[in-house]
Amino acid sequence: MIRVGVIGVGHLGYHHARVYSQLPAVELVGVSDTNEEQLEKVTGDFATEGLLDYEELLERVDAVSVGVPTSLHYAVGKRCLEAGVSVLIEKPICAELADADELVELAQEKQLTLQVGHVERFNGAVRKLAEVIKKPRFIECHRLSPYQSRGDDVGVVLDLMIHDIDIVLSLVRSSVEEFHAVGVPVFSPHEDIANARIRFANGCVANLTASRVSVDKMRKIRIFESDAYISVRYDDPEVKLYRKRDDLIEEGMDPMSCIDIEVMPVDKQEPLRAELASFVRCVETGERPVVSGEDGRDALRLAAALTEQIEQLPKE
């Protein structure tokens, strides 16, 4: 049995506790939070122990999920690793790049698993996309949602866009050569709407839009290759592949008739369940996580650079 705990059982942490309580060969030893009311709800729902001080939890577990606010990721994550406990830390890995570097180095030194909670990588549609994509030339991402107070201690780039940054980096696998970002605050002190255009060394260009003040929710990515177009929807997982056949286009012929459309089969397992099961397996075997600390740090590096550029924009 892998003994696990959850530190911070707000919206995301609650569901980490729920999934851990259901996974085979996993013992949910306890959860910790400074909010006594929330702590009582989680312990009641999942028949586990609640602790106000997470230090007590670290003495009894092999691994933890860290779901505290972003500003606390570094301090809590560092303490867990120092105690010899493997960590799945929610995205973004930290608020500051130097702190992320330190956590990555500490996990390596202690030979512990450090995974970052970019849960979209475990979405069945994204996993299918990773299988079929060859050489992306242009990528377009839209991640729009209504405003919620949680997560607004950082801007929308670190809150939402960083999911797509991580996915794009994993697909393109090339260094960033140039980027341009814009963003505006609406309800929070930080940018609530943002757009970034990123050009990679291999020639691929990605255009990312994120908003947390949208009336309608949208999570979509479109990828263009030289002979194919892939459309991916995250919320109700779907992958459609449009591929050009090698047919000769004769005069008077509709070119669109030379395109085959295939709806790809998608695993619709809950992404969070797939993520936590993968984390537990990595803790047990020592294998590299799907989203490692290094991956989380790379996504943060680009997200922080985009945020800095947005903050330098003229205010009037």
Residue 305, pLDDT score: 97
Which tokens is 124 given?
Answer: 């069945």
Which tokens is 169 given?
Answer: 């980096």
3-state SS, one letter per residue, for 239-307: EEEEEECCCCCCCCCCHHHHEEEEEECCCCCCHHHHHHHHHHHHHHHCCCCCCEHHHHHHHHHHHHHHH
Distance (Å, whole) CA 124 – CA 140: 19
pTM, entire model:
0.92
**137 neighbors 225 (Cβ within 8 angstroms):** yes
Distance (Å, whole) CA 79 – CA 53: 12
pLDDT tens-digit profile, the chain (316 residues): 999 999 999 989 999 999 999 999 999 999 999 999 999 999 999 999 999 999 999 999 999 999 999 899 999 999 999 999 999 999 999 999 999 999 999 999 999 999 999 999 999 999 999 999 989 999 999 999 998 866 567 899 999 999 999 999 999 999 999 999 999 999 988 999 999 999 999 999 999 999 999 988 999 999 999 889 999 998 889 999 998 877 666 676 777 777 889 999 999 999 999 999 999 999 999 999 999 999 999 999 999 999 999 999 887 6
Residue 99 zone, left/alpha/beta (φ > 0; ψ -120 to 50; rest): alpha
3-state SS, one letter per residue, for the chain: CEEEEEECCCHHHHHHHHHHHHCCCEEEEEEECCCHHHHHHHHHHHCCEEECCHHHHHCCCCEEEECCCHHHHHHHHHHHHHCCCEEEEECCCCCCHHHHHHHHHHHHHHCCCEEEECHHHHCHHHHHHHHHCCCCCEEEEEEECCCCCCCCCCCHHHHHHHHHHHHHHHHHCCCEEEEEEEEECCCCCCCCEEEEEEEECCCCEEEEEEECCCCCCEEEEEEECCCEEEEEECCCCEEEEEEECCCCCCCCCCHHHHEEEEEECCCCCCHHHHHHHHHHHHHHHCCCCCCEHHHHHHHHHHHHHHHHHHHCCCCC
Domains (ranges, CATH) in the chain? 2-118+272-291 (3.40.50.720), 121-269+302-311 (3.30.360.10)
Which tokens is 206 given?
Answer: 């990605």
Residue 33, pLDDT score: 96
Distance (Å, whole) CA 56 – CA 58: 6
Distance (Å, whole) CA 78 – CA 107: 9
Residue 248, pLDDT score: 67
